[in-house]
Amino acid sequence: MFVRSSLLALVVTAGFVAPALADKAEQDFLKWAEGSRAAYDQATNEHDAAKMLSFYAGNAVRITPTAIQSGRAEIEKGLAAFVNHNPRQSMTKVEQAQVSGNSAWAAGPWSMTLSVPGNDALKSKGFWAVVYDRDGDRWKVRLEIFNTTPTPPPKQQ
């Protein structure tokens, strides 16, 4: 009887401790993700493609509204082309995040201003999602997906 009671107490205790540990891991990851995205925004605003590239795993995939970039060389080429559009005022918000062992994801809205032919102050925004893998004591982007919210048509008068 004592063994059964002890086992039941252990199972009940584990039921309370496991969610608390998961919550702590997710809170820690959320804090890290917010800092990481802020650092990525800073690199974007400084047009530092090499720093931006440092966030990605060697086998990462980046899906943009116009291309799929697979691996470090393609992502590097895509980031170099991107910084030629003079990105500035880049702001990324982490609205959701979850961690599970050595993988995690985060998602939220983004906005920035770009220079494109015919418009030196193009405001752009959308949503992003990133899947991370743990690489030693760091998290690296394994998959990044983002979209661009279309500009609404002008109001009819």
Q: What gap in Å lies between CA 69 and CA 46, rounded to an integer?
A: 22
| Look-up of token digits 């895509």 | 78
- AA identity, residue 33: A
22, pLDDT greater than 90: no
In the block, which residue shows the tokens 């899906």?
63
Q: Taking residues 31-36, what's their average pLDDT? A: 94
Least trusted range by pLDDT, from 21-35, 94-108, 140-154: 21-35
- pLDDT-derived band of residue 13, with 50, 70 and 90 as boundaries? very low
Structure tokens at 13: 């205790």
What is the predicted pLDDT for the residue at 4? Answer: 53
pLDDT of residue 52: 97
- Tell me the pTM: 0.80
Asked if CATH classification 3.30.420.40 holds for the domain at 2-146, the reply, yes or no, is no
Mean pLDDT confidence for 39-55: 97
Domain boundaries, the chain: 2-146
* Mean pLDDT across 104-126: 92
Q: Which of 61, 129, 133, 128 is nearest to 99 (CA)?
A: 133
Rounded percentage of the chain residues whose pLDDT exceeds 70: 85
> What is the distance, to the nearest Å, from the Cα of residue 113 to the centroid of all Cα atoms in its chain?
19
Is 58 in contact with 83 (CB distance < 8 Å)?
Answer: no
For the cut 60, the answer to whether the pLDDT of residue 20 exceeds it is no
37, 92 contact by CB (below 8 A): yes
- Which alpha helices (H) appear in the chain, and where do they start and end? 2-45, 49-53, 71-83
DSSP assignment letter at 48: -
